[in-house]
Structure 1
Amino acid sequence: MLFYEVKKVFSRVVNKVVLALLVIVLLFASIMAIRDHPWVNGTGESEYGIRAVQKLANAQHEWAGLLTEQRIAEVIQENARIGNTPEAQSEDIQQQNIAYGWKQGIADIRDVMNSSFCAFQEYDYYKADTLTAADAADFYSNRTAHLTEWLSKEENTDRYSDAEKQFLLEQYEKMETPLKYDFVESWDSFFQWAVTIQMFLAMLLGFLVSGIFSGETQNRADAVFFAAQYGRSKGVRAKVLAGFGIVTVLYWVVFLLYTLFVLGCTGFIGADCMIQILHWKSFYNITIWQDYLLVAFGGYIGCLFLSSVTMLVSAKTKSNVLAALVPFVSIFIPNFLANVVNDTVIDKIVALLPDQLLQLDFVLNRFSMYSIGGTIVGAVGILFVLYTILTLLLQPILYAVFRKQEIQ
């Protein structure tokens, strides 16, 4: 029965088109993630592709190690040395590109320095050019100092409670220093395009499973289905398992292929670096590898939850169209509210909606916190617990709802 239900889903022409779209999205996101960070060669020309990424990885790997005060000072001095060359000071764009190419090895560290020495909500790409070796001593202390200054501003008085402010400062202090650095640009691109992959997965997977429970009604075969000996038992169970299996298999096949395509050319270099190398302001003290696991499993739970809701709507309304709209509405409405409504309460509600599981790397860079029993916790932990429980609860509910379906 399970095989039959799966076969019915993929026998539809429109669902074959959806599978083709999944392949197109996978290839597009993978290519764009690889092209995100070109290599500028000795003539100032940009190179793209796997070899370009490998050249960039080799250049930045030469600066791998602990970001001690001495290493930061060395980067400041190297940045200044290149900045004083005739090529860097030339008005010719080609010459400036050549000088930029010389800075590629320190580009990521330079970017982190810009974040450290700019005010909390500011970013100046050229800030590193104004630093001296003596400034290296303030590299880590700036992080907490700028947060403290920002939290003390009048506009943040009502935005965060005293307990939340204390929590943020404690999390900042818990970050172990000096940070380890290695080539992380592939990870940066991976996480950015993973959002695109996971959102499309949620919508397309929802479309695939939207007809599992309404199919019999649409084909006027519901009377035969429920009249069969195992129609209301094994038949319904096969439908639930088919939806669960389709989402699980397709999600992990697409996500793992995406991982292979994007990270395969450089391996997992930089996985043991802290995420502050990518997200300087994040209060989550985890490694990039842990970030990857959160993104991977968060996307899976998000897709599984939205697909389960889709199937429940399909079972209740007997409509493929209404059911297929569930993922679209769940993804676009929260993003619309977040961009249009500027309200603290709304922000806290939006930060716990299921679409956040599809963009967890962004969530890790936000100050979304909640008080549970007097303890302040970040949104990431709540999202995982909340939607894992809801997804598990939806399976028996889905089974019970369709099993008791009446034939019209």
Structure 2
Amino acid sequence: MKTLFVLEFKKLAKKRMNIIVIAVCLVLVGLLFALPVKQFIVLNTEGEQIMGTAAIAMERDFENAYAGELTNERITSDIAAYQALFDDPANVSQDSDTKALSKTAYFKHFFPYIDYWKLINGNYVAASTYDSSFSAITNMNLEDGVDFYAARDKKVSTMLNYSYADWNFSDSEKAFWQNRVSSVKTPYEYGYHAGWKLLLSCMELFVVGILGICICVSGTFSGEYQSGAASVILSSRYGKSKLVKAKIFAAFVYSLSAFTLFILVGCGIQLAAFGVDGWNLPIQVLSSIAPYRMSLLSAALIAVATLYLILLGMVSFTLLLSAKMKSSVPVLVMIILVSILPMFLGISETSGIWNRILVLLPYRATQPVFSDEFIGYFGYPLGGMTFDIVTVRMIVYAVIMLVCIPFARRAWKKHQVA
């Protein structure tokens, strides 16, 4: 068995097409993850664009200016300081019909810290809504202070009770998500977290690597049919037993090895550039109503674990197609369609069933939803229980792997030798 595995692994690793595909994917992953670093832009207090490493250093200083626990007292004080800016006529824009800061005051006192203010102001506006004028904090009555976390709970309740045509949250789902939000530790901790924020937003780019690996293993069985080697292999002593296990095991080891290289390159580039500062901050620094009790590091690790399961599920599906089809071409066509098609399909505002299926498809499933104020609350009721989308994605692709592999082995064994 060991010798067969080594031979099958070498066959995959030394195949010229596979080497080219992995090399191209590695370069693409490197470029795609390096591009946001190179193009990272920060506007300084004069409104001037700063790019690259200087921008990252400046962003660290800006975000750390508001570092610390987000207690109600601290948030009240920060909003009061912001509102006080409007008391000075020199800070108020004369060209706007609404209450707004002048350009000079905006870039000096507000815009450099806009991620912080998006978090605070966003807690008081409807889910998935962006208040570009920041009117919520601008017009807030601070006479009795603010209760940031009570406002969070109210926002969650409003969202869960909103009517989405023929799609509504059931009572059990509402209770599930409200309990989830209530279990999140408060007060939140805030600080510099640009690297983790960017990394989580780029996870879907790893679909390039998943697709490339599937291309490499697509000929595991169909390649033997095309070359005519299957006639010899299947009639040999271990052709239908040990060899098929060796082929599948080699495909998995090869896939995991290649994908680990992609992960190290992609994540390594961004974390090396931005640093790992903020790894212990809660995911709620990205959205105050995020219903997951985890740190940014935990969210990134879960996202990577999900990617690995998607990879294994897709590789298993590819092996099944390869075992059933006599040519690699239709295998490649189907894999590309399954991987890329969801990219062009949109979320529905009326159909909950469609949405819950769509976000489980390969491309969509690579997108972390921990801080998404809409998709992050997708639940899957089953047997009186509700499962969150993150858990369901992992289960689905694990099941796909466990189902496809036995059928792939069976298809190979039942192939008719000419």
Task: Output the TM-score relative to the length of structure 2.
Answer: 0.85
Asked whether 1:397 is paired with 2:404, we answer no
SS in 1 for 2:205: helix
2:338 is aligned with what amino acid?
Answer: S
SS in 1 for 2:381: strand
1:180 is aligned with what amino acid?
Answer: E
Q: Is the 8 A contact 2:156 2:178 kept in 1?
A: yes
Shift of 1:28: 2.1
Shift of 1:148: 2.4
Could you tell me which residue of structure 2 aligns to residue 144 of structure 1?
153
1:119 is aligned with what amino acid?
Answer: A
**Which one is further off, 182-191 or 39-48?**
39-48
Alpha-carbon RMSD across the aligned residues, in angstroms, is 3.0
| Number of residue pairs matched by the alignment | 404
Asked whether 1:51 is paired with 2:58, we answer no
Q: Is the 8 A contact 1:284 1:364 kept in 2?
A: no
Asked whether 1:257 is paired with 2:265, we answer yes
Asked whether 1:113 is paired with 2:120, we answer yes
Shift of 1:212: 1.4
Give the alignment of 1:76-225 within 5 angstroms. 76-80=79-83, 89=93, 96=103, 99-100=106-107, 102-103=109-110, 106-127=113-134, 128-131=137-140, 134=143, 137-155=146-164, 159-197=168-206, 199-225=207-233
Equivalent in 37, 41, 49 of residue 38 of structure 1: 41
SS in 2 for 1:302: helix
Q: Is the 8 A contact 1:34 1:189 kept in 2?
A: no
Q: Is the 8 A contact 2:287 2:371 kept in 1?
A: no
Shift of 1:86: 5.2
Could you tell me which residue of structure 2 aligns to residue 60 of structure 1?
63
SS in 2 for 1:279: coil
Amino-acid identity (%): 23
**Which one is further off, 313-322 or 355-364?**
355-364
Asked whether 1:290 is paired with 2:293, we answer no
**Cα distance 1:271–1:209, how it changes in 2: closer, same or farther (>3 A)?**
same
Shift of 1:118: 1.3
Asked whether 1:378 is paired with 2:395, we answer no
Q: Is the 8 A contact 1:212 1:239 kept in 2?
A: yes
Separation of aligned partners in 2, 1:352 and 1:41: 40
Unaligned 5+ residue runs, structure 2? 96-101
Shift of 1:12: 4.1
Unaligned 5+ residue runs, structure 1? none
**Which one is further off, 335-344 or 61-70?**
335-344
Could you tell me which residue of structure 2 aligns to residue 239 of structure 1?
247
1:400 is aligned with what amino acid?
Answer: R
Q: Which has the higher contact order (CA 8 A, sep 6+)?
A: 2
Task: Output the TM-score relative to the length of structure 1.
Answer: 0.87
Shift of 1:393: 4.2
Could you tell me which residue of structure 1 aligns to residue 32 of structure 2?
29
Equivalent in 7, 12, 32 of residue 4 of structure 1: 7
**Cα distance 1:376–1:101, how it changes in 2: closer, same or farther (>3 A)?**
same
| Deviation by residue 1:79-126 (Cα, 9 ceiling, x = unmatched) | 4466768588498xxx94884365465322211012112123422032
Q: Is the 8 A contact 1:73 1:134 kept in 2?
A: no
